[in-house]
């Protein structure tokens, strides 16, 4: 026991547990060097332990996912010299997310939100002092009001205060660099659990998938460090195991910004077309060497 209560969550990483890592890209564009770096780290972590490296395609956004990008992911990983198990597709796992949402609904921890982005932005610009990302407008609807509007477009949000009260105790997760971390998801407010245009949010789908696939080690960029606070809370609420986390540094472009599909960062396919050798590139990344025009933070 701790001063604040029991530490919740069952670890997947006890003595003798096989290492299972994963790479989970969205097929909404070609992979860039940062994706490749993350895949290499996850692959090598499992390979060094004689474990398993899984490929999961996070294609839950049907409007933006493309079959050609799924094929491109395989091409890029093979070019880097990686092998994997899978893939599995989130679009084929919707019943798992629906069941998880149903459990949260049964506990009274989620509510329908009918607000548009414009309405949320307007409410946050009002002079009422510091506010979370979402001000809880629809949380104040009565059950009867929410049910009467159920046919209108809506997402499902987690009632953060109620969820934390339900979880209780200290929620601890372990990061390879930071060590033990006490989860603190409260500043993120009432996060979206199921979107208007998709049956689950990234938070819910990734948490459910990692548990269902037996992932022991989650390797991802440090930009997702804060998301892990939410995932640890969901693990406690849904009685799911807690993997180890490895949040790695990001690769920056020539302007010092993190790589991103939406900004048109050079893809692995671009590097291949320019004559780069994938195996040589992968070995360079492992040794800390980057192609010209890319950089590590603070280097």
Pairing of strands 110-113, 155-158: antiparallel
261 classed as catalytic: yes
Query: Which residue's structure tokens are 């930009």?
Result: 223
Burial environment of residue 224 by CB neighbours within 10 A (0 to 12, 13 to 18, 19 or more): middle
Q: Which among 160, 161, 141, 163 has a CA at the least distance from the CA of 152?
A: 141
**Helix H or strand E encompassing 156:** strand 155-158
Q: Which among 79, 75, 80, 74 has a CA at the least distance from the CA of 40?
A: 80
Which strands make up the sheet holding 155-158, listed edge to edge? Answer: 110-113, 155-158, 192-194
Identify the active-site residue in 261, 267, 268, 278.
Answer: 261
Active site residues: 261
């Amino acid at each position: 026991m701790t001063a604040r209560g029991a530490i919740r969550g069952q670890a997947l990483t006890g003595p003798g547990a096989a290492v299972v890592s994963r790479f989970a890209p969205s097929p909404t564009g070609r992979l860039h060097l940062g994706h490749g770096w993350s895949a290499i780290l996850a692959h090598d972590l499992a390979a060094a332990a004689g474990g398993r490296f899984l490929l999961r395609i996070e294609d839950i956004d049907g409007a933006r996912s493309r079959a050609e990008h799924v094929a491109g992911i395989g091409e890029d990983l093979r070019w880097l010299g990686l092998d994997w198990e899978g893939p599995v597709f989130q679009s084929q796992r919707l019943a798992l997310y629906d069941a998880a949402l149903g459990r949260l609904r049964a506990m009274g921890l989620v509510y329908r939100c009918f607000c548009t982005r414009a309405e949320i932005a307007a409410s946050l610009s009002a002079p009422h002092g510091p506010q979370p990302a979402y001000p809880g407008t629809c949380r104040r609807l009565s059950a009867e009001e929410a049910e009467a509007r159920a046919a209108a477009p809506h997402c499902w949000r987690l009632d953060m205060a109620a969820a934390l009260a339900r979880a209780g105790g200290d929620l601890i997760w372990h990061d390879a660099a930071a060590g033990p971390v006490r989860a603190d998801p409260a500043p993120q407010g009432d996060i979206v659990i199921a979107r208007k245009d998709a049956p689950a949010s990234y938070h819910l789908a990734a948490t459910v998938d990692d548990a269902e696939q037996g992932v022991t080690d989650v390797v991802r960029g440090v930009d997702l460090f804060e998301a892990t606070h939410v995932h640890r809370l969901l693990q406690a609420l849904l009685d799911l195991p807690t993997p180890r986390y490895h949040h790695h540094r990001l690769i920056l472009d020539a302007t010092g910004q993190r790589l991103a599909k939406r900004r048109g960062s050079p893809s692995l396919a671009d590097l291949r077309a320019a004559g780069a050798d994938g195996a040589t590139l992968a070995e360079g990344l492992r040794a800390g060497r980057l192609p010209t025009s890319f950089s590590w933070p603070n280097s």
